[in-house]
Structure formats: structure tokens, C-alpha cells
Amino acid sequence: MAPRKVGSCRIVRELGRGGMGVVFEAFQEGLDRRVAIKALDAKLARSRELTERFRREGRAYAQLRHSAVVAVHDMVEKDDTLYLVTDFVDGADLAKILSKGGPIDASALAVIGARVAEALDYVHFNKLLHRDVKPANIMLSRDGEVKLMDFGIAKDQTASDLTRVGMLVGSPSYLSPEVLAGDPADPRSDIWALGVTLYELAAGEKPFRGNDAEALFDAIRSGGHAHLRSVAPHVPRGLARIIERCLEHKPRARWKTAGMLARELDACAAKLLRGMHPQARIVAFMAHRGYAQREEALTRIDASSLLATRAADEGEGTAPVVPPSGGSLWRWAVAVLVAIGVGAAALLVHL
């Protein structure tokens, strides 16, 4: 049974369950804000190793202050259970978005990739590794924010590793060849995982697959995968080259740092956005995918920005629209915003 209160936070509802526990939406009284609370599963709490890993997540989060990283506010121990209080991100993770709407268009993909790479560069600067970069651990908010989350298996590069010899840490499809070979993870392993993630978001399928874990690991070790543009020809060559370099088999052939990767993706995004603000692009993308947005988020997008995305979500079937000129432009823009809001609400009813 869920607690009614954790510290100063009143539980509102359950958001989801995962391998380590359950996540709740809560309201932090006194500060009048929504927060997320991650509770360690009671059965797992009996394990000293898993409890320490959960504590490590809290400590890892607590060190980080970055706009693209979910921030931690508190860690509470109650009734032999640990609770981590973090930012509440009003949106959806990329695994859910991908499963419901298919591959992501190039301009939104470049923006998302740049923000996550920027977050990883900051994480690495602070002597941490994420070690579990994947679509399910990247959130998009209805306000157009990109957030990297779930540092449950993050590793402090200056501290001892909890993982026993021979134990693999991370999600199998996103493990790098060197980690599978038994070498320690380093920042380039996170870059590899981001490359796998971006490939999957662009193509709608992972670059490496297998009928079982051993076949999957063999595919990753061999380094053989279909070139991105062969399975996703809509991806611009420049963006495809950036992603493919993340997937170089030898770590030294990948991007040297996540910061270098972020700069390349930012430059690519600037060309694709054609003057549109990156955050506005994510807001528009969320509208296309049927996620409701607050009024203040919608007002960030002007009519020309909305039109700039008409062909962005390929497969959405959005036809070109020519805006009116003169005094009717304002009324036309309002009508477009209302139409998108109604469409998003209608889709939510069916979710």
C-alpha cells in the first residue's frame, strides 16, 4: 500500500513501476510544487547492495545542477523504505513516445540528442557515468524540456564499484562492445548508448538485435549493423554521420567527448530548424504526438513556427498550409493553436 505522505510530500497518484520500485506523483506542501517520488521496492530494500545503489542514485542526483538533468530534492527513509524526491516532469519518456507514434523526425531528434549529450558532458565533468542511457530514461516535457533521468546505476569514477566481477550493469541492447568484453565503462560507453538510442528513435528499431541475449551480444561485439540511412532514408546525411560515429566499434573512434557530440548535434539542429527555437520545436513535436500542453506552453509557438513543423513529423500526414496575411494572421494563429489543443485532448481521451 502506498504511503499517504513522505516527508513534506503528499502522495497524489502512482505514475509507474519498474525494476527497482514504484514512482509516485506528489505535492510538496510548504513549497507548493509537484514532485516525483521514487520508492525502493520493499523486497529489494532487504538487499544491502541494492539499498546502497539506491542511495548512490540520490547522491549522484544531488551533485548535479543542469537544465537537462532531473534534480533531486530530498531522500527520506520511512517504514524501512527509501524514497527519493525529484523534479516532476510533466510529459512522457521517449520509449513511450516511440511505441505510440513511431520514429522521430530529424529536427526534433537533433534537438533531443544535443540536450542529452550536453547533459552527459556535464555528468562526465562531475566524474560520474550514467551507464543506462536509453529512451525510457529520457523524458520530454510538455513545455519542451529534455530531461535525462534514472541514475540508479550511475558510477562515481572516483569511487569503488558495487558491481561484482563478471556482472554486467545496464540495459543489454545499449551496452557497448568494450563493456561486454569486460573492460570498465567510461564516458565513451555512455556516448555509445546515446548513439544506440538516437538510431532507435530515428529508425524505429535498434541497430543491434538477437533472438536471445547471447545473439544480441554477438551482434554488438561484431559491430555489424545496417547503416542508419538504409533503414531510415529520411534522416539527413549529416545527422546520420553524427549518430553513426557514436557507434564506432573502437571507443577511440567515437566522439572524444559528449560535449563535442552536443556541439555537432546543435549545429545540425540549427540547420534543420531554420530559425525555430529548439524548445519550441519540442513543444510542437509533443503536440503532433497528442500530448496535451498547458496554455502558457502553447503561446511560446508563433504561427510561423507551427507551420515550420508541418512536414517535420513524417508519417503524420500534415499537409502544407499557407498562412493568411495582414490583420487576419492573429486570428488564424489562434485558430491553429485551438485546433492543436482540441486534437491533443481528443487523443488523450483514447490513451
* Confidence tier at 247 by pLDDT (50, 70, 90): very high
Q: For residue 257, is it within any domain?
A: yes
Q: Does some domain include residue 12?
A: yes
Burial 164-179 (b: 16+ CB within 10 A, else e): eeeeebbbebbbbbbb
Categorize the per-residue pLDDT at 155 as very low, low, confident or very high, splitting at 50, 70 and 90: very low
301: pLDDT confidence band, cut at 50, 70 and 90?
Answer: low
Our count of domains for the chain comes to 3
Instruction: Specify whether 171 is located in the same domain as 313.
Output: no
Let me know whether 151 and 237 are in one domain. yes
Domain boundary, last residue among 31, 60, 87 = 87
**Euclidean distance between CA atoms 306 and 320, whole angstroms:** 11
Q: How far is CA 74 from the centre of its chain?
A: 22
Any catalytic annotation for residue 190?
no
The residues that bridge with 37 in the sheet, in sequence order, are 24, 85
Same domain membership, residue 334 and residue 250: no
Residues 121 and 227 in one domain: yes
Q: Are residues 123 and 208 in the same domain?
A: yes
Domain extent for 13: 5-87
Is 216 found in the same domain as 149?
Answer: yes
CB 107 within 8 Å of CB 281: yes
CA–CA distance, 161 with 141 (Å, rounded to integer): 33
CA dist 258 and 235 (Å) reads 21
* Cα separation, 176 vs 195, whole angstroms: 10
Whether 284 is in a domain gets the answer no
Same domain, yes or no: 115 and 185: yes
Residue 283 covered by a domain: no
What is the model's pLDDT at position 229? 96
The pLDDT of residue 62: 81
User: What is the helix, strand, coil percentage profile of the chain, to 5?
Assistant: 45, 15, 40
User: Are residues 197 and 214 located together in one domain of the fold?
Assistant: yes
Together in a domain, 110 and 232? yes
Residues 140, 348: Cα–Cα separation, whole Å: 16
Q: Do 253 and 216 share a domain, yes or no?
A: yes
Q: State the Cα–Cα distance between residues 76 and 182, nearest whole angstrom.
A: 35
- Asked if residue 95 and residue 218 are part of one domain, the reply reads yes
Residue 316: its pLDDT value, please?
A: 43
* 313 is a domain residue: yes
Q: Which residue, of 50, 65, 87, is where some domain finishes?
A: 87
More confidently predicted of 71 and 268: 268
Note whether residue 117 is domain-resident.
yes
Q: What is the CATH number of the domain that holds 211?
A: 1.10.510.10
48 plus 118 within the same structural domain: no
Which listed residue (93, 105, 121, 132) is catalytic? 132
Pairing verdict, β 128-129 and 155-156: antiparallel
Question: Which CATH number does the domain housing residue 80 bear?
Answer: 3.30.200.20
Residue 179 placed within a domain: yes
Q: Which of 12-21, 75-84, 312-321 has the lowest mean pLDDT?
A: 312-321
Question: To the nearest 10°, the Cα dihedral for 308, 311, 312, 315?
Answer: 160
Given 53, 87, 121, the domain boundary residue is 87
Question: Is 181 domain-assigned?
Answer: yes
Per residue in 327-339, pLDDT (tens digit) is: 444 444 444 454 4
Strands, E assignment, the chain? 5-6, 9-17, 21-28, 33-40, 72-78, 81-87, 91-93, 128-129, 138-141, 146-148, 155-156
Which residue would you say has higher pLDDT here, 34 or 40?
34
- What residues contact residue 336 under an 8 Å CB cut-off, 6+ apart? 303, 306
